[in-house]
């Protein structure tokens, strides 16, 4: 039940944003490279997206995976609920699968920064990420190698890596220990649509 609730919430955030933009399931699925039935299942809380799928959906909807996970479509009513507390054991947020583990949002509601916790990392590099806004990675435990536009940096517990999200980036685990990262992305609404094709 708990898991269903989490996934329903995330699906609801996707659907609310899609509808607000006046897009159909078919349009969003096609643009994100997913099947229409799978997207429909996601929206109804019947399937769980990977970080990669969620990132593709978010780009199509002009937002980020982190923002969808933070439930920004269900406004936290900043006047009445300015403080967000997310506990490790909470069932109010939806973890999302990512290569080598899962991602857990660390805030709820519409915020200027979008912190998440990555648990686990792949042993081999996966595809690059690229997004609006700046990004900060703090290594809580483990040893990782970060690839930023082909520049390689190792980082271990207590190290911080900061870069513009527009630089292609990805990381992999170099340790046998479980990797845990805190990743904070600046929530910068794209002023120009950098994801879609230019209108013509």
Q: Contact residues for a copy of itself (CB under 8 A)? A: 78, 82-88, 106-107, 111-113, 115, 117, 133-134, 136, 138, 140, 148, 151, 153, 155-164, 167, 182, 184, 186, 188
Task: Provide the minimum distance between the beta carbon of 188 and a copy of itself in the complex, in angstroms, as a whole number.
Answer: 8
- Specify the residue, 13 or 56, whose C-beta has the smaller distance to a copy of itself: 13
Q: How far apart are CA 129 and CA 152, in angstroms?
A: 15
- Specify the residue, 47 or 120, whose C-beta has the smaller distance to a copy of itself: 120
| Orientation angle between helical segments 36-43 and 25-32, nearest 10 degrees | 110
Please give the distance of CA 136 from its chain centroid, rounded to a whole number.
14
- Specify the residue, 58 or 184, whose C-beta has the smaller distance to a copy of itself: 184
- Specify the residue, 158 or 198, whose C-beta has the smaller distance to a copy of itself: 158
Q: How far apart are CA 79 and CA 11, in angstroms?
A: 25
- Specify the residue, 52 or 153, whose C-beta has the smaller distance to a copy of itself: 153
Task: Provide the minimum distance between the beta carbon of 12 and a copy of itself in the complex, in angstroms, as a whole number.
Answer: 21
Task: Provide the minimum distance between the beta carbon of 155 and a copy of itself in the complex, in angstroms, as a whole number.
Answer: 7
Give which of 117, 15, 112 is closest to 73, Cα–Cα.
15
- Specify the residue, 43 or 171, whose C-beta has the smaller distance to a copy of itself: 171
Task: Provide the minimum distance between the beta carbon of 31 and a copy of itself in the complex, in angstroms, as a whole number.
Answer: 28
Task: Provide the minimum distance between the beta carbon of 75 and a copy of itself in the complex, in angstroms, as a whole number.
Answer: 14
Contacts of 81 (CB under 8 A, 6+ apart): 109
Q: Sign of the C-alpha dihedral, residues 65, 19, 4, 81?
A: positive
Q: How far is residue 21 from each of residues 28, 61, 89, 156, measured CA to CA in Å? A: 10, 8, 34, 41
Task: Provide the minimum distance between the beta carbon of 181 and a copy of itself in the complex, in angstroms, as a whole number.
Answer: 11
Q: How far apart are CA 180 and CA 144, in angstroms?
A: 10
């Amino acid at each position: 039940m708990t898991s269903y609730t989490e996934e329903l919430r995330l699906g609801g955030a996707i659907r609310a944003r899609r509808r607000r933009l006046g897009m159909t399931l078919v349009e969003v699925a096609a643009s994100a490279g997913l099947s229409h039935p799978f997207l429909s299942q996601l929206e109804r809380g019947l399937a769980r997206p990977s970080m990669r799928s969620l990132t593709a959906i978010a780009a199509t909807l002009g937002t980020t995976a982190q923002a969808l996970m933070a439930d920004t479509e269900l406004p936290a009513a900043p006047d009445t609920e300015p403080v967000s507390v997310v506990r490790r054991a909470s069932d109010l947020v939806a973890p999302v699968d990512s290569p080598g583990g899962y991602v857990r949002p660390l805030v709820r509601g519409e915020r200027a920064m979008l912190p998440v916790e990555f648990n686990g990392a792949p042993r081999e590099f996966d595809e690059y990420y690229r997004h609006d806004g700046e990004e900060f990675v703090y290594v809580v435990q483990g040893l990782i190698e970060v690839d930023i536009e082909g520049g390689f940096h190792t980082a271990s517990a207590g190290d911080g890596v900061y870069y513009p999200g527009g630089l292609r980036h990805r990381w992999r685990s170099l340790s046998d220990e479980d990797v845990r990262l805190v990743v904070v992305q600046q929530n910068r609404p794209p002023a120009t649509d950098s994801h879609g094709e230019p209108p013509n």
